[in-house]
Amino acid sequence: MSEHPLLDQQFPEWVQADARPGYGGWLVQAAHLNDVARWLRDQAGYDYLSSVTAVDYFPEDRMEVVYHLYRSTGGSALVLKVVTGREQAQVPSLTPLYPGAEFQEREVWDLLGVRFVGHPDLRRILLWEGFAGHPLRKDWREPFFEEEVKPFKSRWPEGHVRRAEDGNPYGDNLQYPPDFDPDSWQPQGEDALYAKFQRRADEGIHTDTMIVNLGPQHPSTHGVFRMVVQLEGETIVDLKPVMGYLHRNHEKIGERNTFLQNMPFTDRLDYTTSMANNFGYALAVEKLMGIQPPERAEYLRVMMAELTRIMTHLFSIGFLLNDLGAFFTPSLYAIQERELILDIFEAVSGSRMMCNYFRFGGVVRDLPEGVLEKVKELVLERLPRKIDEMDAYLTKNEIVRGRCEGVGVLTDAQAIALSASGPVLRASGVPYDVRRADPYSIYERFDFDVAVRYHGDIYDRYLLRLDEARQSLRILQQVLRDLPEGPVMNGKPQHLVRVPAGEAYGRVESPKGELGFYVVSNGKPNPLRYHVRAPSFINLTSLATMARGEKIADVVAVLGSIDIVLGEVDR
């Protein structure tokens, strides 16, 4: 498609097309990355930097930092790559141009050891300072290393069982950097963290700000998550989120796994939206394999994804109310609907939350008997009523409005610059929905509106989720009307799929935002690189902007309105 500018003609000196088979996009010289990016942002409309990651081509001395840029008006990705060596890996930071890169660049530094020159606050983000090395580098091995890739040879035919824990005894299951002594260690990371807060210059009366840690153990954070807030009285001057408490290096596990083995692992990212996670990963690998699911499977996929959206949006509204102090009555009403949808997932996939329902080229199984009737009852009868009930219950409530209207505002320009996605982006007046902006699967066939609200406050994020649940019902009605008969899987189910070498980025509009999977294959049974663009994580980049100037009590509601799941934030 010629929708993208030809960068090698625009910048013949600096940019080259990536001509490796299976690859695309542009190789940009590190020294000129900022110039090219500035031109793209200001002249060519690529105002949305969605994903930043890197690939380690060990044993070659080659690291590639990969950027996916979009126009916030829609269209496919423009991919930039910058090559650097492995020792002293460094590239210029794009954070000054695209503030949304801040956390992602920190993540690349943390996990792959690429320095971003010009980054305002380049610290580890998911791991701590006592962690040795950068785990996503191909030559990094875990202390309980078994083999580079699965399947491990010790399991068959001479699989003499041993307990995983015995191979990984407590105390030996970690490595420290050289010259690191855990007993005498003082957390310098904390100082670095606090040092980033600006001290106020004296203005007449000397007042000092106060630093308060909310979390890691805090009921408002929906998990183990920490917010360090700098306060002036009760007003938030600045905020830094600290995460990674639930980090398990999903991506490293993913690179040890075979392609298919990753499917059940994606369930565990955002464990409330496992169907959507399956969807994104299946899309990415199907792109690489060049296959398409059959018609009926496409409809089933959309059906599951939209049921997930309704369920998650109701759920998040319920929990937003928890955060506002309406303890559990609204969220239990939401959970009641969620249970009915989970019943469907369980009947179809075998599990309520860890669905593992998608396969490359289709879905595991067709709807068992009686399930379609249940879906019909829900979609045509119950859920519209219940969404209206939620609306009647909360929308006009004066306390909800008082707490939410005008609080935690994110403007449209800020939302785009900060790479916010999903409900956060659309509630700020940017009608950007991957299902419309860059349609995947069969979404082009459905008639629905991209929900959008314009104030960018908590209240609009709440309203937007209600709007979107209603639009999902519209899609589901069309799915039920058009659902064709036929197979649900192309080809024979295989546990080892052949994936040609190349790269692919599959993205879906998950209920939390743009969920992307960047997968690189080198033709082997295991992915060379498996990266998750996690919407919950990247949406947190805008938390500080939303919270500044608000009262400390509101930060809980602001966080609730972003709707994060720590399984996905920390990966």
Site string for another protein, 401-440 (x = CB under 8 A): x---------------------------------------
CA distance 44 to 39: 7
Note whether 156 binds another protein by CB under 8 A: yes
Q: In degrees to the nearest 10, what's the CA dihedral of 42, 519, 437, 415?
A: -50
Exactly one of 140, 333, 448, 518 binds another protein (CB under 8 A); which one? 333
340-369: contacts with another protein (CB under 8 A): 340, 343, 346-351, 354, 356, 364-365, 368-369
Report if residue 172 touches another protein, rule: CB under 8 A. Answer: no
Asked whether the beta carbons of 105 and 122 are under 8 A apart, the reply is: yes
Out of 152, 176, 327, 454, the only residue in the binding site for another protein (CB under 8 A) is: 152
59 or 157: whose CB is closer to another protein? 157
Q: How far is the CB of 253 from another protein (least distance, A)?
A: 9
Extract long-range pairs of 367-373: CB within 8 Å, 24+ residues apart: 367/300, 371/344, 371/347, 372/480, 372/483
Residue 173 touching another protein (CB under 8 A): no
Contact 223, 243 (CB under 8 A): no
d(CA 50, CA 53): 10
**Cis amide bond preceding 264, omega within 30:** no
- 3-class DSSP state of 542: helix
**CA–CA dist 201, 283 (Å, integer):** 52
| Planar angle of CA 341, 281, 335, nearest 5 degrees | 20
Asked if residue 38 binds another protein (CB under 8 A), the reply is no
> Using CB under 8 A, which of 1, 13, 21, 160 touches another protein?
160
CA distance 399 to 274: 33
DSSP string covering 546-569: HHTTSBHHHHHHHHHHH---HHHH
* Nearer residue to another protein within complex by CB, 118 or 151: 151
Tell which one of 155, 200, 498, 551 touches another protein (CB under 8 A). Answer: 155
Options 32, 62, 150, 436; binder of another protein; rule CB under 8 A: 150
Does 142 help bind another protein (rule: CB under 8 A)?
A: no
Which residues between 489 and 508 bind another protein (CB under 8 A)?
Answer: 493-496
The CA distance from 514 to 501, in Å, is 25
Q: Are 417 and 99 in contact (CB under 8 A)?
A: yes
Select 198 or 494, whichever has its Cβ closest to another protein. 494
Instruction: State yes or no: residue 157 binds another protein (CB under 8 A).
Output: yes
Closest approach, Cβ 153 to another protein, in A, equals 10
DSSP element (H, E) containing 324: helix 295-324
Q: Is 190 in the site for another protein (CB under 8 A)?
A: no
Minimum gap (Å) between residue 520 Cβ and another protein: 20
Size of the site for another protein (CB under 8 A): 60
d(CA 324, CA 493): 48
Query: Least distance (Å) from another protein to the CB of residue 383?
Result: 9
In terms of CB distance, is 38 or 524 closer to another protein? 524
- Binding-site ranges for another protein (CB under 8 A): 150-152, 154-165, 257, 260-265, 329, 333, 336, 339-340, 343, 346-351, 354, 356, 364-365, 368-369, 374, 377-378, 381-382, 389, 392-401, 493-496
